[in-house]
Structure 1
């Protein structure tokens, strides 16, 4: 065997072994094979409107990276979606030639084999790079475009898109329209003015709005955004029960960011901590520990006999 053949043979073995480790996750307690299935935007409104029998969900922060699975990668989304019904929180940036891609940071350094600002590279240049997992290990996966992700996700997941500052809302909405992905998308906003801007551009698209208090909700109401177009991100600490009640009375579901302190709390005290967050008013958990949160929610759902015609 010559040196070149042996080199490629060893690389092949490494990829096979790493794939075995990636696919060997413990799936006990997870609703493997179930997913969100929506046919149109009216079904999205119905599914994400609060009622007493609402179906609690996991939202994958940055797509749910794990060993061998980098953040903001379609392969990572697919892996997590095979284990349970999920929302996929991911980040939208723009390339030098105005292509919309998925990337959290404004530089390539942390999550890819490249260097430098994201917006200094063309899409062709970006597509030559490999994505790194959280352990800095190179994966076989490439940077996806927003349209590639939307095309993959229809009928499988709901995306919550965190659109970075230099990315025009108009460009994102055009990509959603092109892929006919309105029933698979929620756009994240951080102020009432941002929410109003999105609603003025695309009144049918759902919005995740930051709501930390009743004044935030009042500002959204002043913008004439219908309740059934809204999800409320209530922060990374449990919300005041009075705020949760008002949001629920409006039919608005609450996203609790467990990433950080609340995830660490669950790690120390046990995964059923996540069920407690749901009991106390959260409806969607945005987490860096989707498998553990998923087990807790699956137990919660089974115990209470919760069902949804949109989960199959």
Structure 2
């Protein structure tokens, strides 16, 4: 009897160890559960139409780094899902590269601030990265893992729109390949910081949406001269409100304007009241890139109801 009991305990230990090894090697995302569809895009053309300006457009929040909060780390699928449950959202997340050339979600070059690891992300294999756990905004340890880009894209279909911030030394080609592999074209835009980057992305994947930095009319002209079409552009207009002449010009070209409220404008809203988010929309912004997506969304939901706005692409 004792021998049999020892055998059972040994077998359970082996199974437990094997299960842990599998989880570390390939993320088990079953704990995220089912999620109703939010965005209804039949294909990439629907995304283009949805992200084209009209006076009936539905304003959106873009959750900066996925919308981290207490118990919810940045660039974590669990954090993305928390935001997506509360409001139709754009998820802005950061793409880094592992030692074995796997695309993962990570903002910093080093692992120290946001994980239980140390050193540079690029010096760790995916297997090593999957053994780490993510920390929340207060530095508290969570049970969540670093996701791969492919895991995030596979999860996000119908749930969110991604804007992908591609970190230094990450080839755009690898990101485009991951988008193609997961058939994510209809819910992704790539972030660029200058005309050369925007032109490169457009040449690699002319069907994809591009978030381009546009601070004045000359920036738009340079993008047009580089053959980046207006129909593929989202304009990031900065972290302070732009001149109304610029937003009007962009709207005339059918281009939506992303205002970065993370930082000073978020602090203003927190101090003066969240209705300020709706005022940003009233004054020309269309998408708010914010560190307070839940609070901003509540303000925009009131704005949307008051004006009777809707979209056939939001369920």
Q: Same fold (TM over 0.5)?
A: yes
Q: Which residue of 1 aligns with 2:237?
A: 234
Instruction: Deviation per CA, 1:167-190: give whole Å up to 9, x if none.
Output: 000000000000000001000000
Q: Which residue of 1 aligns with 2:193?
A: 190
Instruction: Deviation per CA, 1:242-277: give whole Å up to 9, x if none.
Output: 110110000000000000000000001100000000
Q: Give 1:1-312 correspondences, 5 Å limit.
A: 35-312=38-315
Instruction: Deviation per CA, 1:32-80: give whole Å up to 9, x if none.
Output: x783222210000000000010000000000000111100001100111
TM-score by length of 2: 0.88
Residue pair 1:37, 1:157 contacting (<8 A) in 2 also: no
Q: Which runs of 5+ in 1 are unaligned?
A: 1-32
Q: Which runs of 5+ in 2 are unaligned?
A: 1-35
* Higher Cα Rg, which structure: 2
Instruction: Deviation per CA, 1:250-308: give whole Å up to 9, x if none.
Output: 00000000000000000011000000000000000000001110010000000000010
Instruction: Deviation per CA, 1:169-225: give whole Å up to 9, x if none.
Output: 000000000000000100000001100000000000100000001111110010111
Secondary structure of 2:39's match? coil
Q: Distance in 2 between matches of 1:104 and 1:230?
A: 23
Instruction: Deviation per CA, 1:124-151: give whole Å up to 9, x if none.
Output: 0000000000111111100000000000
Kindly tell me the number of residue pairs found equivalent between the two proteins: 281
Secondary structure of 2:86's match? coil
Q: Distance in 2 between matches of 1:38 and 1:127?
A: 32
Q: Which residue of 2 aligns with 1:13?
A: none
Residue pair 2:37, 2:159 contacting (<8 A) in 1 also: no
Residue pair 2:37, 2:158 contacting (<8 A) in 1 also: no
Secondary structure of 1:224's match? coil
